[in-house]
Amino acid sequence: MTKITSKNSIDLLIELVKTSFKMRYQNSVLGFLWVLIKPYAMFLVMYLIFSNIIRSSVENYALYLLTGVIFITFINELLVLGQMSLLERAHIILKVSFPRYIAIVAALIGAVINLCINLILILFIVLMKGIEIDLIGIVHLILVITILFIWGVGMAFITSILTVRIRDLKNIIELGMFMMQYGTPIFYSLDDNLIPNSKIKLLIQYNPLTIMMNQLRAALNVYGQRDFLLLIIVLVLGLLFLFFSYMYFSKQVKKIAEFF
């Protein structure tokens, strides 16, 4: 088995990120454009339907919906790419000795790149609409992305191991995310009082995805108020989760070769 030294780990990380992108859009006519086409097509369909049904009181409903779609697309990619990161790189893992966490990080960096591309376009739209974005907003946005990435890596440390052993987990997580989309205010706002049940409304309000989604919107001055203290708390919890999930990953990853 070929061994990769720690000195070459960064080179391997970069190479894995490049390879992931090439493989993902290989033999595709539109290629990398799918990064924009999929979320914006989803946004367009949802906007045409829900803007007429809900009649939301949110001032910039189109941007509110678009940021929600981009956010949930990113979360989906973090979960799917993270849980499949070891399985899809089994051929490398069986032949090359390298820190296995690199496979996880490389997979999720691809999701972050996709998010950043979409956010650049959103920033352009926001500025075109005359909404001001200050330096604090940019810092807030970077902090939100960093927190989501940390939690995503932590989740991937667990799900990537479990998916190798339980292949049905991929479908279970996809089903869970489909259900979670309706428990997260992507196309509706809790301010519109569309949910009469106070207990369900409270669950949605304190859903971690709702909190982070609205902080992303707040960073862009689209909706809600920025809360740095809240983000710091979530960041600290995320680092603790990352530490314990890595402990689990580092022990279990040594045993997965037999399941490939």
pLDDT in tens, 2-13: 555 555 778 888
pLDDT in tens, 66-125: 999 999 999 999 999 999 999 988 878 877 788 899 999 999 999 999 999 999 999 999
How far is CA 175 from each of CA 7, 15, 80, 149, 162, rounded to the nearest angstrom? Answer: 40, 32, 12, 22, 16
Sequential DSSP letters for 206-249: T-HHHHHHHHHHHHTTSSS---HHHHHHHHHHHHHHHHHHHHHH
What does the pLDDT read at residue 5?
52
Over range 43-59, report the average pLDDT. Answer: 85
- The angle at the Cα of 256, spanning 251 to 259, to the nearest 5 degrees, equals 155
Return the exposure string of 163-187: e unless at least 16 CB atoms fall within 10 Å of the residue's CB, then b: bbeeeebbeebeeebeebbeebbbb
Most confident of 26-30, 38-42, 76-80, 146-150: 146-150
- Residue 192: band (very low, low, confident or very high) from pLDDT cuts 50, 70, 90: confident
- Which residue from 2, 210, 222 is spatially nearest to 122, judged by alpha carbons? 222
pLDDT at residue 194 tops 60: yes
> Left, alpha or beta for 221 (phi > 0: left; psi -120 to 50: alpha)?
left
What does the pLDDT read at residue 30?
66
Helix (H, G, I), strand (E, B) or coil at 96: strand
